Amino acid sequence: MAIWQFSLYLIPNGSIKERFEQPPSKLSMEVAEDTPWWSGHQPQRDFEDAISAILPEAHSWSKSMRIWGVERSDSILVSYRTEERIEVEEIEVRIDASNLSGEFVLHVCKWIEMLDCLCRTKAYDVVLPDVAGVQAAIANSRAMKFIENPVKTLQGLKNEEFEGTV
């Protein structure tokens, strides 16, 4: 993943409702990363066709993943539990903050809403799939800070964060 990309990880609303009375505004790292959000809440079979209507499919470097778009730009990655690609494990939307497309954000928000999902950011904030909320999250992200001031952003990274960013 590139430092200029802003990531949204989709979480099915049904999974949120099973764990919380109200959708939280933020998740703990443990809950966000250790909860099998898609277990028991698989998307409709045609969800991949809807992605293809937004972005063209790209070559995947993993047999258990499908990628649409350009991996270091606007892209959607669907990870599956196995190489047979039957059960979704994670869905990540990457938005290129260096070439921010309002049209892409709009299409992605409509698609996420169609899937009946919420989103979480890398900072574990929970974001509604609406254009204003997503754009506000992008505006406050490290990806946008990098676009605005790359040197200062890179200087502020911890060594372990820096190794996997660009």
Cα separation of 11 and 116, whole Å?
A: 9
The least confident of 56-65, 82-91, 145-154 is 145-154
pLDDT in tens, 71-84: 899 999 999 999 99
0.85 exceeded by pTM: yes
Task: Specify if 166 maps to a domain.
Answer: no
The whole-number pLDDT of residue 150 equals: 82
Reply yes or no on whether the pLDDT at 92 is more than 70.
yes
Residues 108, 93: contact at Cβ < 8 Å?
yes
- The boundaries of the domain holding residue 90 are 5-160
Reply yes or no on whether the pLDDT at 162 is more than 90.
no
Task: Specify if 165 maps to a domain.
Answer: no
The whole-number pLDDT of residue 166 equals: 42
Which of the pair, 115 or 165, is modelled with greater confidence? 115
Task: State the average pLDDT for the chain.
Answer: 92
- DSSP code, position 123: T
Task: Specify if 87 maps to a domain.
Answer: yes
The least confident of 7-11, 102-106, 161-165 is 161-165
pLDDT in tens, 13-66: 999 999 999 999 999 999 999 999 999 999 998 999 999 999 999 999 999 999
Give every CB contact of residue 61 below 8 A, 6+ residues apart in sequence: none
Task: Specify if 61 maps to a domain.
Answer: yes
Give every CB contact of residue 62 below 8 A, 6+ residues apart in sequence: 79
Domain count along the chain: 1
The least confident of 35-44, 105-114, 133-142, 152-161 is 152-161
Give the residue-averaged pLDDT of 118-146.
Answer: 95
